[in-house]
């Protein structure tokens, strides 16, 4: 793929996001599968209610989810100098899901408590992966981080399963499929408003610091010589991104692959510099997730878990990119 001007791509994607958002408002199962004639909004009160209480918050959440996962993926990849990581491989989303589940069971159901617990365990997942990788004696840096990240993620996934199985005879927790496969079917305006501040804080931080991310992707000595306080800046970025991801995960369940694949595509489109690739990744991720959720809620009468769709599409794209030698990694 030839590189295009960052600004142009960003504008096109921005317009694309709005278009898809608008179009998705008219997509669903009512009154018939798929398309709802816009005129119905004026005539049918149920349609109005449905669109404004159900579809719109869900769409906006899907948009936020995609933006957050992609930005976090891009940041993780650059900060850890590893093109194969994403929040779902580094224990972040699984840790957050575990924290949220734990909170619902024992700590309290208030959204803020859930969010705090999710963030805490998301951070434990992330740093657990990192410190575990430093103790491995096998393989190059890239491989070690991915291995330990996958292990920690699996551990927390299992943790969610155990919580559900052992500690939840009265069915307080959402079905296990919700946590492990993800889904946005229960999202309300209330969910959205609670998640929005965390998501915006994280997204804004990552957006404003996007140039610094370039710097942090260099070796420590070089970054230091260029005036970066590497540890402090990395902490700020990681904290912001995990907080945002945890907030979204506590209402969406574990959604994977978006954070891996979208940054790669963004970099292929506009180049590796985070200056342009992070904003482009945000928009691409938002579009990707909105479209996936459109399929999840409209294709069949029954809901398809969102995580299944993002995995299927994401994994296919990943395979294509790897085969076409798009991803150069020294393992």
Partner 1 sequence: MDHKAIAAKDVSFAYHEGGIRVLRDVSLDIPAQKITAILGPNGTGKTTLLHLMLGLLKPGSGEVLIFGKHHGAYSRREMSQIMGLVPQFESIPFNFTVLEYILLGRSPYLKPFQSPGKEDLQIAEEALTSMGIVGLAGKPVSELSGGERQLVHLARVLAQRTKILLLDEPTAHLDLENQNRILNLLVELTERGITIVLTTHDPNVAVYAAENFVLVNEGRIYVEGGLDTVITPENLSTMYNVPIHVENADGHTMVVMDKNG
Partner 2 sequence: MKKTALRWFVFMIVSSSLLLAACGSTPAAGDGSGSLEITDTTGHTVTLDGLPQEIAIAGKASVMVQDAAFMFDEADQKVKALENRNQSVFDFLPVVDPTIDEKDLFERDAGPEQIAAVKPDLVLMKNFNKSKLGDSVEKLGIPVLYLNLESPDIFYQDIQMLGEVFGVPERAEEIIRFYQDRVENVQEITSDLAEEEKPRVLILRYSDQGGDFAFSIPPESWLQTQMVEIAGGRPVWVDQGGSGGWSIVNFEQIAAWDPDQIYLVDYKGDADEVVRRLKEDALWASLSALKNGQLYGFAFDFYSWDQPDTRWILGLEWLATKIHPERTDEIDILAEVDAFYDVLYRLDQESIQENVLPKLRGDIP
Contact 126, 238 (CB under 8 A): yes
Q: Which residues in the 15-54 window bind partner 2 by CB under 8 A? A: 28-33, 45-46, 49-50, 53-54
Residue 315 interacts with which of partner 2, partner 1, none, CB < 5 to 8 Å by class:
none
C-alpha pair distances (Å), 215 with each of 4, 78, 119, 127: 22, 9, 26, 21
- 86 vs 294, which CB is nearer to partner 2? 294
Q: Which residues in the 87-126 window bind partner 2 by CB under 8 A? A: 104, 109
Question: Per-residue string for binding with partner 2, 256-295, x by CB under 8 A?
Answer: ----------------------------------------
Number of residues engaging partner 2 in binding (CB under 8 A): 33
Question: Of these, 172, 225, 231, 324, which contacts partner 2 (CB under 8 A)?
Answer: 172
Least Å from the CB of residue 211 to partner 1? 5
Indicate whether 189 belongs to the interface with partner 2 (CB under 8 A). no
DSSP letters spanning 111-148: HHHHHHHHHHHHHHHHHHHHHHHHH--SS-HHHHHHHH
Start-to-end Cα distance in the chain: 24
Contact 271, 4 (CB under 8 A): no
- What's the distance, CA 125 to chain centroid? 15
Residue 228 CA to residue 185 CA, distance in Å, equals 43
Residue showing tokens 């959204």: 111
Residue 144 interacts with which of partner 2, partner 1, none, CB < 5 to 8 Å by class:
none
Q: Which residues in the 299-328 window bind partner 2 by CB under 8 A? A: 300-303
- 172 vs 229, which CB is nearer to partner 1? 229
């Amino acid at each position: 793929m030839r590189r295009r001007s960052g600004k142009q791509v960003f504008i096109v994607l921005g317009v694309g996001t709005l278009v898809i958002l608008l179009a998705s408002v008219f997509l669903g199962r009512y009154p018939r599968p798929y398309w709802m004639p816009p005129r119905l909004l004026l005539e049918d009160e149920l349609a109005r209610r449905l669109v404004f209480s159900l579809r719109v918050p869900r769409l906006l959440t899907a948009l936020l989810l995609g933006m957050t996962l992609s930005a976090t993926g891009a940041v993780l990849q650059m900060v850890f100098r590893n093109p194969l990581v994403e929040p779902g491989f580094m224990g972040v989303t699984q840790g957050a899901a575990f924290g949220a589940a734990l909170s619902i069971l024992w700590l309290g159901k208030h959204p803020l408590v859930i969010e705090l617990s999710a963030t805490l365990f998301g951070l434990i997942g992330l740093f657990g992966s990192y410190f575990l990788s430093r103790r491995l004696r096998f393989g190059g840096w890239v491989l070690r981080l991915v291995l330990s990240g996958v292990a920690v993620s699996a551990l927390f996934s299992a943790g969610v399963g155990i919580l559900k199985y052992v500690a939840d005879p009265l069915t307080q927790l959402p079905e296990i499929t919700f946590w492990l496969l993800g889904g946005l079917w229960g999202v309300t305006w209330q969910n959205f408003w609670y998640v929005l501040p965390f998501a915006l804080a994280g997204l804004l931080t990552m957006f404003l610091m996007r140039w610094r991310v370039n710097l942090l992707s260099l070796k420590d000595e070089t970054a230091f010589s260029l005036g970066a306080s590497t540890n402090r800046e990395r902490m700020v970025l990681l904290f912001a991104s995990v907080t945002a991801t945890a907030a979204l995960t506590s209402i969406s369940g574990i959604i994977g692959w978006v954070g891996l694949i979208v940054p790669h595509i963004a970099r292929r489109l506009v180049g590796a510099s985070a200056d342009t690739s992070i904003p482009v990744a945000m928009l691409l991720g938002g579009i990707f997730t909105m479209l996936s959720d459109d399929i999840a809620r409209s294709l069949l009468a029954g809901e398809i878990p969102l995580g299944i769709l993002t995995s299927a599409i994401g994994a296919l794209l990943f395979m294509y990119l790897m085969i076409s030698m798009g991803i150069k990694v020294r393992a």
